Amino acid sequence: MLEPLEAYFQLLTHWNARINLTALPLDAPTDETFDRLLVEPLAAAKQIPSDAPSTWFDLGSGGGSPAIPLKIARPSLKLTMVESKERKGAFLREVIRALGLLDTSVENGRFEAVAEKSTVASNVDFVTVRAVRTDNQLFASAARMLKNGGQLLMFRPAHSPSPDPAGFERVATLPLIDVPPSFLTVYRRVFHVEQ
């Protein structure tokens, strides 16, 4: 995995000089840069089965992390990165091309609109999210996308013992890195029958 991860980091550094993909320092990267961009996604990969092909959407993909490192670690997954900004979408397409990532695409548009598509609704096994505002709209869109039992994986800078959002049950909250702390909260999509 080292070679494609290094190639991704080099592309990110090059493109970040022209468009703002991340606020983390890339020309003189810090430990936090590597932890956030590479170590967190690789630590989270353990939560995604590698044996069965699955459909996966990453919302607000921006600079490509966690999606690209996760895809490198779990190449059998069919990844769609959802990004509303055209220039960031162009960067993500270039990463796909340069790294030769199979079963990987970019959907330019707002994730709320993508969730409404009939080809997406209730057809997704995994949804990943980092650095996207956590609100009812996010959970509603993820719920629309996910199959019953599908998982929403949320990368967070702090553990939040908040109640489970409607349509989801918390499976686990796992530490990813210690300093600065970051966590992965895993939710399972559940359908409730109204009585």
Average of pLDDT values for 78-92?
A: 96
Number of Cβ atoms within 10 Å of the Cβ of 53: 14
Q: Which residues of 144-174 are buried (b: 16+ CB within 10 A; e: fewer)?
A: bbbbeebbbbbbbeeeeeeeebebbeeeeeb
Residue 149 included in any domain? yes
Percent of the chain residues past pLDDT 70, beyond the cut: 95
Rg (CA), the chain: 16
Residue 180 included in any domain? yes
Residue 8 included in any domain? yes
Residue 161 included in any domain? yes
What would the pLDDT profile of 44-68 be if each residue is shown by its tens digit?
A: 998 887 776 789 999 999 999 999 9
Residue 195 included in any domain? no
**42 contacts: CB under 8 Å, gap ≥ 6:** 1, 69, 70, 73
Residue 150 has phi, psi (to 5 degrees) of: -65, 160
Beta partners for 169? 188
The beta strand positions in the chain, using DSSP E, are 55-59, 78-83, 104-108, 124-129, 146-156, 168-177, 182-189
Q: What is the pTM of this model?
A: 0.91
CATH number, domain of 154, equals: 3.40.50.150
What would the pLDDT profile of 111-140 be if each residue is shown by its tens digit?
A: 989 998 888 888 999 999 987 777 788 899
What is the pLDDT, as a whole number, of residue 180?
82
What is the pLDDT, as a whole number, of residue 169?
92
Our count of domains for the chain comes to 1
What is the pLDDT, as a whole number, of residue 192?
57
What is the pLDDT, as a whole number, of residue 68?
97
Residue 78 included in any domain? yes
Residue 194 included in any domain? no
Residue 53 included in any domain? yes
> Where does the pLDDT of residue 189 fall: very low under 50, low under 70, confident under 90, or very high at 90 and above?
very high
Is residue 24 within 8 A of residue 36, CB to CB? The reply is yes
On average, the pLDDT of the chain sits at 90
Taking 90 as the threshold, does the pLDDT of residue 156 lie above it? no
Look up the domain containing 150 and give its range: 2-189
